[in-house]
Amino acid sequence: MACILFPLFMMHLSEITAVEAPSIIYSTAYPGIQAALDANPNRVIHVPAGDHVISAKIRIRGENSGLVGPGKIIQSNPEQPILEIERTQGTLIRDLTLTRPDGKTETNAEAILAMQCDGLVLENIKVINNRTRSSSVALRDCKNCRIAKCTIRNYSRITVDDRTANTELYGYAFQCIDGSGIVVRSSTGTLIEGNTIVEEHLRPTAENRKKYSLGKIIKKLPQKPAAVNAKLWEEEYTDNWHQGSALAVTSPESTDLTRILGNHIQNAAQGIDLHCDRAIVSQNIIDNAFIGMKAMHGSRNILITSNQFSRNDLWAIGLMPGAAAHAKNTDGGSIVANNIVSDFGHGDAHWIWGPERSPLKFDNGQQSDDPPLTDVIIQGNLVYNPDKPRYKYAVIIAGGPNTPKGLQFSNNHFPAGTQGVANRELKP
Mean pLDDT along residues 138-156: 98
pLDDT digits (tens, 9 = 90+) for 275-299: 999 999 999 999 999 999 999 999 9
Mean pLDDT along residues 31-52: 98
Q: Which pLDDT band holds residue 300 (cuts at 50, 70, 90)?
A: very high
Phi, psi (deg, nearest 5) at residue 27: -65, -25
Residue 376 region by backbone torsions, left for phi larger than 0, else alpha for psi between -120 and 50, else beta: beta
Residue 9 has pLDDT above 50, yes or no: no
Mean pLDDT along residues 318-344: 95
Q: Which pLDDT band holds residue 1 (cuts at 50, 70, 90)?
A: very low
Measured between alpha carbons, how far is 171 from 238 in angstroms, rounded to an integer?
12
Mean pLDDT along residues 35-45: 97
Spell out the residues 6+ positions from residue 41 whose beta carbon is closer than 8 angstroms to its own. 61, 62, 65
Q: Smallest Cα–Cα separation from 85: which of 22, 145, 156?
A: 145
Q: Smallest Cα–Cα separation from 93: which of 131, 37, 132?
A: 37
Residue 149 has pLDDT above 80, yes or no: yes
In this predicted model, which residue has the larger pLDDT, 370 or 93? 93
Q: Which pLDDT band holds residue 344 (cuts at 50, 70, 90)?
A: very high
Give residue 208's pLDDT: 96
Give residue 220's pLDDT: 93
pLDDT digits (tens, 9 = 90+) for 188-225: 999 999 999 999 999 999 999 999 999 999 999 999 99
The overall average pLDDT reported for the chain is: 93
Measured between alpha carbons, how far is 9 from 331 in angstroms, rounded to an integer?
69
Mean pLDDT along residues 316-342: 95
Residue 12 has pLDDT above 70, yes or no: no
Measured between alpha carbons, how far is 279 from 261 in angstroms, rounded to an integer?
10
Angle (CA) 210 215 220, round 5°: 135
pLDDT digits (tens, 9 = 90+) for 372-390: 999 999 999 999 998 999 9
Q: Which pLDDT band holds residue 355 (cuts at 50, 70, 90)?
A: confident
Measured between alpha carbons, how far is 137 from 81 in angstroms, rounded to an integer?
10
Residue 139, burial from CB neighbour count under 10 angstroms (0-12, 13-18, 19+): buried
At 297 the three-state DSSP class reads coil
pLDDT digits (tens, 9 = 90+) for 212-265: 999 999 999 999 998 899 999 999 999 999 999 999 999 999 999 999 999 999
Q: Which pLDDT band holds residue 168 (cuts at 50, 70, 90)?
A: confident
DSSP state of 28: G
In this predicted model, which residue has the larger pLDDT, 369 or 78? 78
Give residue 188's pLDDT: 98
Spell out the residues 6+ positions from residue 369 whose beta carbon is closer than 8 angstroms to its own. 402
Measured between alpha carbons, how far is 189 from 242 in angstroms, rounded to an integer?
30
State which H helix or E strand residue 363 sits in. Answer: none
Residues of the chain with pLDDT > 70, as a percent, come to 95
Mean pLDDT along residues 344-352: 95
